[in-house]
């Protein structure tokens, strides 16, 4: 599940939004560029499924992956 979510985040990332977000979070070089409303939708989907399993194996390589558990 976690790898599927990561692949989804990468596929919907926007380069222009990544540049914008990087300007708001200096020193944070691991931003994909996924908008917050989309992260909320993904978090809701995770919350409706096996969220405990997702959290148990959650990765934090990207800023968006760190934000997802905060939204569940």
- Please state the pTM of the whole predicted model: 0.83
Per-residue pLDDT of the chain (72 residues; tens, 9 = 90+): 888 999 999 999 999 999 999 999 888 889 999 999 999 999 999 999 888 888 888 888 999 988 887 665
How far apart, in whole angstroms, are the C-alpha atoms of residue 40 and residue 67?
A: 9
Residues 6+ apart with CB under 8 A from 65: 5, 6, 9, 58, 59
- Residue 30: closest CA among 69, 64, 58, 67: 64
Q: Which two tokens stand for residue 64?
A: 């968006």
């Amino acid at each position: 599940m976690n790898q599927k979510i990561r692949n989804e985040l990468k596929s919907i990332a926007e380069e222009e939004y990544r540049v914008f977000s990087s300007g708001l979070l200096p020193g944070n070089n691991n931003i994909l560029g996924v908008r917050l409303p989309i992260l909320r939708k993904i978090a809701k989907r995770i919350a409706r499924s096996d969220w405990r399993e997702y959290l148990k194996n959650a990765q934090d390589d990207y800023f968006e992956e760190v934000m997802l558990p905060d939204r569940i």
